[in-house]
Every structure is written in structure tokens, then in C-alpha cells.
Chains A and B, each alone.
Chain A
Amino acid sequence: MAEIAYWEAIRRAHDEEMANDKMVIAMGEDIGVAGGTYKATAGLYEKYGEQRIIDTPISENSYTGIGIGASMAGMRPIIEIMSINFALLALDTLINAAAKIRYMSGGQISCPIVMRTPGGTAHQLAAQHSARLARMFMSTSGLRVVTPRGPLDAYGMLKSAVRCNDPVIIIEHEQMYNIKEDIPEEEFFRPLEGAEIVREGSDVTLIGYNFSVHLCLQAALRLEADGISAEVLDLRSLKPLDRESIRKSVEKTHRVVIAEEDEAPVGVGAEIIATVNEECFYALDSQPVRVHAADVPVPYNHTLEKAAIPDVDDVYQGALKALGKI
């Protein structure tokens, strides 16, 4: 085992997959000569050259489309979008093409692209650099959407995503790139599907994904100090969703909080609560609780931003509400 940061885990996965298969390439803004905004491809331009680590112009829709076209002819492009906000520019090629080509062609042509992009708030980046948008990709047929919470999944899920034959969106997070974790030094893979219990508990289930898993884990520590046993479930994959793991946990604890960093309307939390209702409504002892961002464009001002985005205390309070303590 070796301690490794989230960005280093991504870099290692790129390096190994590119060494393994010459059809694997990476494309994106500043990923080559500049080494990548979050260093996810640092040193790889020197190792693999400009034909495989491709610095693109600031043309998200078309360079994504070029990656998709290349994937239709057997390549395995890892497409980096510098911020999920910019992924909005690539929605035509991503959603109208990559997500539909397999179906429209009657299964003849696959689009095995990986799109990596950080989606989340950081520190006063304001409205056009703070989008989360997981809910939008989650609602699109033909895509896989995964949210690695730490280096183990960041490495293992990227490797699986490269080898998987479907288009995979990997949503990372600006605040997670320096998270560290011990991971095995030998090669391994982490599956793209399946939620994971990252902390066992019996009184309430806290469901998170991406950065909100960390909010749930910290809230669980505070609850423990109050004598409350919280289970934390990391969804890992938003599409497809692991409905069975959600059901099992709620049937065990009978109370559920879903923590999402995004705004609530038509969001991940709404889908999780609908899932709970459909799968195990009668197991509930209290109404489900959504912890979510305020329904506003993310403000620049530090105090307003803090008020808009859920934090550990919000998850903690949400759990108390689910437990009927407030």
C-alpha cells in the first residue's frame, strides 16, 4: 500500500491504461505541455507524445465530438473537461451523439469514451465555475455516470471506465484532488456499478456521492458523539443507480438523509427519495430528508456562498430531523 493523492491516482490510471493499450489517448485543454489544470496528466505528454496526449483548443463541443468519432472507430479517448460548467458546451455531441449512437445504430457502434470533469463548488469561484450538474447527466439514457469519492475509486474506476464499452462520465471535485488514501501498489480495478457502505450504522442512513460522502462521514462522527449510529452509503454510480443497496440500508436503519451539493429541484435527492418510496416505503419510520444547496446561482461572496452550499452541520441537522430530535 502507498499513500497517494486523488490527482496522482488519476494520473497513475492514465499512465497504466495508455501503456497497456495504444488506442487509449487523452484530450483536453492544457493537459499536455501545461501538464493539466489539476495535474491529472502531469508528465504524460513527455512520455506518450502529442499524438496521444492532445492539447485541444477551447472548443469543448467539437473536441468531445472528435473523441466520440475516434471512439466509433476503435479508439478509447479520455476526454478532460476543465470544469463541468464547460461541459454544457459539449452537450450536443455528448448527449445527442455519444449517448444515442449505440441505440440508434441498433447496437452496431459503441462510443467508449470517458469524460472526466470536476463538478462542484470550491472557494468563491462564482456562478459560472461552481456548477454541479450531476442530476442532468444522471437523467440521460445511454450514459454511465460515476462519482469517485477518493483515490481508490478515482484510480480503479477510471481504469474500468477506459475498458468499458459505454460512454462514462466521471464527475470529480475541485475540493477532492488533494485527498489522500492508501491504495495497493499493484494494478487493480474498481467496478463502475454498485453503491458502497463506507461506514456501518444502525440508526439512520446518510446517503452521499462525490464530495458529499465526506460531509456525511464527518456528520456521522458528530452523531456518534451524540450516541447515534449513522450508516454512510456512497452511491458511487449515479447511473445506473444501485437501488438494492439503498433499499437494504433503509430497511436496516428506517431513516434516511440524502446529501447533495446541487440544488434540490429535479435532483439526485429527488431520485433517491423516489427510489426509497418505490423500494421500501413501509420500512420508513420518518419522512426522508434532503440536504441540498439553495436554489440560486452560486454567489461569489464568501458568506453568501457558505449559506448556499450544504456543509457538515447541514447534514448533521438533517440527520437529527430524520431522527425526530428537532
Chain B
Amino acid sequence: MNDADKKRLLREMIFYRRFEDRTFEAYMERKIGGFLHLYSGQEAVATGVLEKAVVGQGEKNDYVITGYRDHIHAIKTGAQPREVMAELFGKETGSSRGRGGSMHIFDASQNFMGGYALVGQPFPLAAGLAMAAKHKGTDQIAICFLGDGANNQGTFHETMNMAKIWNLPVLFVCENNGYAIGTHINRSTAEPDQYKRVAAYKMEASQHDGMDIEIVMEAAEKAIDFVRSGKGPYFIEFMTYRFRGHSMSDAKGYRSREEEAEWEKRDPIKIFSKHLIDAGTVSEKEIKTWEKEIDEDMENNIIKFAEESPEPKVEDLHKYVLDDNPDPRWIGPLQKN
């Protein structure tokens, strides 16, 4: 990877952190409702994995799907940040037209197939997307990002089994942040090493540091090559940490400040910044300039767009439940005799 790409990636991660921080502020200002799950701390995983996938190229993209902590996965796949922000603000210009909110970002034009609130649900949906890609004969793959907590759902076991017996081109990315909502993995899961759990399904798997984006990219590239070459599914686990609570109403009483401080030393942005500064690729001054540019873009473009966009119309309440323009040959009305 050349220096320009490394700098771009660091800037992206700084942008993602700032995006999530800004949604937190908007939530406190009551501009954003519902639940809000922030990705701060885990940026190296989605950024690094998707850097090695086909993203940002519209319908040629790989299929990407995840849980409810989905803003950054959507943006890295190709969704426009201001449309994601408008979605959080519940606006008609949002990526899901204000019908989904934070947990349900969709951008079909970029094959970002959604964020889901049922933690184990994206497993089978991802396998289905992979089945479709295989059936159509494209070389697309499906990439499913989920947390360690999702692996205690039945869909995990059912889907790993079927993905393997049908040799589906799907990459399961486990973002192991150590907590299933507020329960530590050692208290919820008999086998804390998640990658070992798919051995029962004879699936290729590996475990890596999820805080160093260069390690993430190297591991992801191998896994993606494996899947794309038709060798079947792959399960990749990254050890990471979310710096904020599970959602907004989380006092984090289940973990110690010492533990948090230890992980914050391994902040993925700090690690990558230090690496690039030490190598002379980027200067601290340049990073400061980026931060200023990002703040300006956030306020003058992203937040402004979200604030000024219209609400959905109440008369459109029933739109999108079923096909709004169905073919009468299949739907009716029934010819009366």
C-alpha cells in the first residue's frame, strides 16, 4: 500500500470517529431519537476489512451486511455520510428515507444490505446474498460483520453449517469487543475464542488484533482472496473494544475504568497515527489540518444537510409496506363471474 492510501485511510478513521462523536452530540440535543450504538474504538475492523473488499463502486460492490452498530460500515461501503446522518435525523433524504433510523441503514445502490437489530439475523441473510452471487455467477462475495454476542444465537450455528455444506462465498467478520451488551464474554460463552467455534463446521477461521489496521488489512486480504477464489466461507475474528457504552443509556457499570484505560492505549487511530508519523508519512500538523477540515465538512455539509432536509410526509405512512406498484396480473383484482 502506498503512502497516499495510508494517509487516506488514517483520515477516514479520524472522520469516522468524528462522525460518531457528532451523532452523540446530536443525540444529546435530541436531534436523534431511538437507540444509537456507536462504533468508536472498533474503526480499524470495518475500515481495514472493507478496504480489501470491493466497495464504493455501486452495483459491482460486494454485499455488506451487519448489525445495529452500522453507520461506519455503511459509509465505508459507499453510502453518503450526509445521507446516513439525515437518516439518524429521521429525514426523507436519509439513506432509508427516515423509515429505518440508526439501526437500519440501507443503501441498495452500493449493495449495503442493511443494519439489523436482531443480533443473529444477518448470518443467514449474508449466506443468502452469497448464494445469489454464486447463482448469478458473479465474483462478488458477501461480508457479514457481527459482534461476539451474536454467536450465541441459533442462526450462528445453523448458518455456519449451511454456508459450509453449500460452499457459499461469504466472509463472516466477528468483531469481538468482549461484551454481549453488558455481559462479559467469559460469563456468556463457554469458548471465548470465537474462531474456534466454527471448527465444528469444518470452516476456515483465524483470530487477529483488531486495533491495528495494518494487521486487519493483511488478514482480511487473505480471507477475502480465499472466499473469492471459490474455496468457501471463512470466519475471521478481530479482538477489539468499543470505547463507548453499548447504546446511549449505558453507564458501563459492568467494566472497570482500568480496563477501559488499557484499551484506550490501543486506540486504533493512535496506533496508526503513530506508525505513520514515525515513518515520516504524515505530520502531526497535517493531522490537525484534517481534523479542522473534517469538522467544517461535518457542520457545513453533513449536519446542515440533515438539519435542513424535510421530514417524510404523513400521507406517505403506508408507502413501502408492500410493492407500491404491483402488477395486476399477479395481484388482481380477481375477475368476478
Q: Interface residues, chain A, CB within 8 Å of chain B?
A: 23, 25, 51, 54, 56-57, 59, 61-75, 92-93, 96-97, 101-110, 141-142, 144, 160-161, 163-166, 189-197, 236
Contact = CB atoms under 8 A, between A and B. Distances in A.
B321 A142 contact: yes
A267 B301 CA distance: 52
Contacts of A65: 121, 123-125, 127-128, 155, 159
A97 B130 CA distance: 17
B331 A164 contact: yes
Given A106-B99, A192-B330, A63 B162 contact: yes
12 contacts: A54-B166, A57-B165, A69-B65, A73-B136, A74-B136, A75-B128, A104-B99, A142-B321, A163-B329, A164-B326, A165-B326, A193-B333
A74 B134 CA distance: 12
B28 interface: no
A93 B121 contact: yes
B98 A106 contact: yes
A51 to B, nearest CB: 7
B253 interface: no
Contacts of A161: 330
Contacts of A70: 128-129, 131-132, 135
A96 B68 CA distance: 14
A127 B331 CA distance: 35
Contact of A108 (B108, B126, B128): B108
A18 to B, nearest CB: 13
A142 B319 CA distance: 11
Contacts of B16: none
B85 to A, nearest CB: 15
A155 to B, nearest CB: 14
A61 B334 contact: no
B10 to A, nearest CB: 32
B192 interface: no
Interface in B300-337: 319-324, 326-334, 336-337
Nearest to B92: A106
Interface of B: 63, 65, 94-100, 104, 106-109, 113-114, 116-118, 121, 123-133, 135-136, 142, 154-155, 158-159, 161-162, 165-166, 319-324, 326-334, 336-337
Contacts, number: 188
A104 B127 contact: no
Contacts of B161: 57, 59
A62 B124 contact: yes
Given A70-B129, A106-B98, A57 B158 contact: yes
Contacts of A194: 332-334
Contacts of B336: 197
Contact of B132 (A64, A74, A107, A165): A74
A101 B114 contact: yes
Given A61-B155, A107-B319, 8 more contacts: A61-B124, A65-B125, A69-B128, A92-B121, A104-B114, A106-B97, A106-B106, A166-B323
B290 to A, nearest CB: 32
B329 A189 contact: yes
Residue of B97, B108, B330 with most partner-chain A CB within 10 A: B330
A196 B334 contact: yes
B159 A106 contact: no
Contacts of A67: 128
Contacts of B126: 69
B125 A164 contact: no
A61 B327 CA distance: 30
Given A23-B135, A61-B158, A62-B159, A97 B121 contact: yes
B140 to A, nearest CB: 9
Given A65-B155, A69-B131, A75-B135, A109 B330 contact: no
A65 B130 CA distance: 12
| Complex A-B, nearest 9 residue pairs according to Cβ-Cβ distance, in ascending order | A69-B128, A65-B124, A106-B97, A194-B334, A191-B332, A62-B158, A73-B132, A69-B125, A105-B106
A107 B97 contact: yes
A106 B94 contact: yes
Given A72-B129, A194-B332, A105 B121 contact: no
Contacts of A165: 323, 326
Contacts of A160: 329-331
Contacts of B96: 104-106, 108
Contacts of B142: 69
B324 A59 contact: no
